[in-house]
Structure 1
């Protein structure tokens, strides 16, 4: 191709993604991400991991399908915490929840041994010591399912998955099974006989490990997590044989998702404008009969709980059904459910789904739970960034990205929340214009109605990992509008991207002067925030007014205990009202200040808080951000 041909690419950065060279078309490609923010957020709020030592040797049977763990393997069964337990990155596992081995450590960061063009051992999944003191027993078998890639990055041929057994006497790990890397496929099951005397001892252990090689892409911002293996349904027991590959179990396969037809979350007051039109017509779950015979589901129940009152406000009995062997069911039934609460400004509801069977299935994989959120923002994404999205390449300076939303009522757009993924050495931290557009009447961005210059991506591990960019002027919107950015460089802004919810029809980009609809399935992690709590005054002041305007100094920031508030130019007998607002938009503290004061933050949770100051007649309004740390 000629050198003067313009090269423009839309890059998708995968946390658990695809190889950088995999081209969807002439303009779009998928590339791995650089960290696991879900784990990093968990560690931020959970200072130490559980003890990695078992109190005693485990007895048979040993079983784990990872449906009863969160982020890390169950420490009563496993000795380490390197594998990532999740329900989002594998495709149709035997039961909901898998253990994923990749290039990221237990802190959600690259291993220090990671290097270009050099393969290295990354994650381990190691069992606790198990009692196999059954000399001569020929009926002890270990079985498990595995899948390369899933929704992640496909391991290359050299990037293998290993299974090792521990020889207690020799004090060495021996490789007993190995699988070379490959493209995505359905889960496959492996079964191995354990009959050698060196393993039939009290204290036997087994472990999985993976070999990883990083992308050789020369751009630091394009180096990310790679080579994903998903493991599920691990079973070790006696009285088995090589054909014991059938599991008498009915299990949920996928998690539940939003019960709203358009959004994962929306403002409560906006939902109340026309609740029935916002709800999906059907209630949906996916489950499978893993047995080789017909199985009976006696009941399939759904329970709706108002989290404000902790009361059940709706139920559905999905009835009974007989499932053929191996049958996968995408259950969908019409149901006119309702969300009712006494809460005025925000609400949330827990929806549970329960399977009751005709025999003793593992209880953990027979139940699901989902929280439907109604706070102060609209969200298409589910809060988990499997992918990152950006515009990059020659000609993308001043390119535009716009995300369509439809406000159900006239309201104040007070802020925009964005989740930016880190890249190597923060290579994507470039200035942009935070921008809001109206609609052109044809379902595309129209005129710019708000623009804020000098904005930088902010990387945080706070609630939902989003950073809140407050608008510095009052902006009222109603109906269709768009939020996004205008770039100032040809470097990529790496915004989070959710592959489990499909809303690319709402994503538009403009590089050549024309708006183009994205063709990559997924949802940007951008959320417009509504209400009046964060809106700051934008009236232009005279020089005298500026000189006499109250100035507020806060220190220290970040704060652990006492936050000191110092006023300048404050008039006597003119008290200042203080509201402290959390990231959800809830006022959690109120006070009237006559003089310099301090606020005790020691009892507050870690995170971002907004302090809103105003006088009695609202002629003075100012909002400041504080970060609380422990």
Structure 2
């Protein structure tokens, strides 16, 4: 399991808990998941060996890569996950997150009930022997920290420790951060730690952050950002000539990240919306900022539309100001024209700041004012980001990345997600991202379901298919579950599943885009609209604008233990055994509400109100799914 899979293992109960009542246990549960261990970025483009020794300055703001910490700066740090989502209001877009699981998503010590060492982040060897004795009092390590963020708050007995490696290869603790409410803050806090003792001024100096907390899972979360070690520093010099993005932009298409081409073409004018993003001025002074947002084709970079060009942030950002910026409306007509006659296209919305940021300054000549820079530390790295917009055959409110999983833990419980089709279309399948988390649900039976309504009495079902839970080893991959019979849909409907285990079965939850009011669940007491968790379920409706070809070639009655008669029928259709569910649709795919009599054998459905013609009957019996053609002659 990757580190991303591990995040799905911390628990946040999202419904009320009443002690002593089994039915009152949280009905909708959110769990963190494990994340990738491979770094996708090296800040300088160099490939460095773990045994390489580097020189000051040391700087990493985690903004240009995700997954494993970069080998440019770090060794033995696979347990820590670099991400852009779980810190609240960080200085820059990425943070390094610690919890209680290793890089494989396994608890560090699954049998221990005690606090112990968990994740660690260790620097490469840094040669401090070259620092002159008269400058050693100016050597400081600074960083920004936050506990909890969007995870779980560490307890008061938990801690995050900063340790220095001495000349004698002994790790010496120099700073300790305790968990608990006392250190719970909305924003990140900057910390300065001096390196004073002679024992640390050697060729192989390292520093590391080590979390001490529960080792049985992801129950305590610590976040670090903007780690900087250099000489000629002081705690009073705690600002930086750096203007940085600190939160990724949202989709400008009314929060939708993917749409079928046909639906977008039909409703492009309704989808023109704005995006928003957050940036932070790390300098103490007023600093002007401009930004550009453009829509381009992902594969070629072809410009489709300039949303904002050299847009000035007004008023000028104050020193240490954090600001949320709203873009101009996106030109959906330009996108519509570009998509004409295309089958499947991915577009990028690129955002980049124009700040005047440069490399970290090494020295300014006092006579000539000539400036030299450390070219391996580029403040412009945190000025650029991008999101993807997909146009093919599915709708998505998630951005394709799961930070958590959400689900229920009750047999026959149901989870649903509200969908609005922007034009009449044909629902053919559901895509679901099942992150691999414990207890593993591989092979567990599910009914994937489409509902027209979620009324507590006789909800209108459009389609139902018996399937099983499948996982993909690749990060954030979906499984496509096809319905035997396509269903004509328009306006509002719902998609989801019914499970047959009391174990947690969760689907990916994207925390970046909040469509939590679209989530519904039913654990036996009726449908409940979620009002406690933020995010978008990674359940996607799949459409296909084709004739209903999949209804041909169906067996008349393939389940031998159940007999259905008569066929053709004048309207009353009998079942020799009681099916678990029955669905009727006409040749256009339109679902027809039907009620199965349950008073006595033979069980029956009354279709006498329907005109004569060909219909399709889908039913579930003994956990098997079958469909047959029915001819009405009345």
Q: Name 2:537's counterpart in structure 1.
A: 524
What secondary structure is seen at the aligned counterpart in 2 of 1:364?
A: helix
| 1:503 alignment counterpart | 515
Counterpart in the other structure of 2:7: 15
- SS of equivalent to 1:323: coil
Answering whether residue 275 of structure 2 is matched by residue 271 of structure 1, we say no
Larger deviation, residues 299-308 vs 233-242 = 299-308
Give the Cα separation in 1 of the matches to 2:403 and 2:28.
Answer: 11
Is residue 35–residue 104 contact of structure 1 (8 Å, CA) maintained in 2? no
Match of 1:171 among 169, 172, 184: 169
**In 2, are the aligned partners of 1:389 and 1:524 still within 8 Å (CA)?**
yes
Larger Rg: 2
CA RMSD after TM alignment:
3.1
Alignment correspondent of 1:448: 461
Instruction: Show the 5 A alignment for 1:9-158.
Output: 15=7, 24=16, 27=24, 28=26, 33=31, 35-36=33-34, 38-39=35-36, 53-54=49-50, 56-80=52-76, 81-107=78-104, 109-111=105-107, 113-133=109-129, 134-136=131-133, 137-158=136-157
The equivalent residue for 2:622 is none
Deviation at 1:254, TM superposition (A): 0.5
Q: Gaps (5+ residues) in structure 1? A: 1-12, 45-49, 216-223, 547-630
How far 1:541 sits from its partner (Å)?
3.3
CA distance in 1, matches of 2:29, 2:535: 15
After TM superposition, the score normalised by the length of structure 1 is 0.74
Alignment of 1:212-227 (within 5 A): 212-214=213-215, 224-227=217-220
C-alpha distance in structure 2 between counterparts of 1:25 and 1:263, whole Å: 33
Offset of residue 43 of structure 1: 9.4
Correspondence for 2:624 = none
**Rounded Cα–Cα distance in structure 2 between residues aligned with 1:493 and 1:368:** 33
Distance 1:32 1:117 in 2: 23
Structure 1 residue 319, shift from structure 2 partner: 2.2
Counterpart in the other structure of 1:233: 226
> Cα deviation per residue 1:226-280 (whole Å; 9 max; x = unaligned)?
2111110111111111322222221111012212104222112211112121131
Change (3 A) 1:538 1:211: farther
Establish whether residue 290 from structure 1 lines up as the match of residue 289 from structure 2: no
- Is 1:410 the counterpart of 2:424 in the alignment? yes
TM-score where L is the length of structure 2: 0.74
Say if 2:29 and 2:407, in contact at 8 Å, map to a contact too. Answer: no
Q: Distance in 2 between matches of 1:429 and 1:68?
A: 38
Per the alignment, residue 625 of structure 2 pairs with: none
Do the aligned partners of residues 379 and 444 (structure 1) sit closer, same or farther apart at CA in structure 2, a change above 3 Å counting? farther
What are the equivalent positions in structure 2 for 1:184-333 lying under 5 Å apart?
184-185=184-185, 186-214=187-215, 224-280=217-273, 282-297=274-289, 299-315=290-306, 316-317=308-309, 318-321=311-314, 322-333=316-327
**What is the aligned residue count?**
509
SS in 1 for 2:146: strand
Pick aligned residue for 2:403 from 380, 383, 386? 386
- Other-structure match for 1:3: none
Query: Given the alignment of the two structures, is residue 351 of structure 1 paired with residue 368 of structure 2, yes or no?
Result: no
Alpha-carbon distance change, 153 to 429 in structure 1, aligned in 2, over 3 angstroms: farther
Distance 1:157 1:21, change over 3 A: farther
Between the aligned partners of 1:157 and 1:267, the Cα distance in structure 2 is: 50
User: Aligned partners of 1:31, 1:195: CA distance in 2, in Å?
Assistant: 48
Residue 114 of structure 1, CA deviation: 3.3
Query: Post-superposition shift, 1:284?
Result: 1.8
- Give the C-alpha shift of residue 402 in structure 1: 2.1
Could you give the per-residue CA deviations for residues 542-601 of structure 1, whole angstroms, max 9, x where no partner exists?
A: 699x9xxxxxxxxxxxxxxxxxxxxxxxxxxxxxxxxxxxxxxxxxxxxxxxxxxxxxxx
Where in structure 2 are there 5+ consecutive unaligned residues? Answer: 19-23, 41-45, 360-378, 561-634
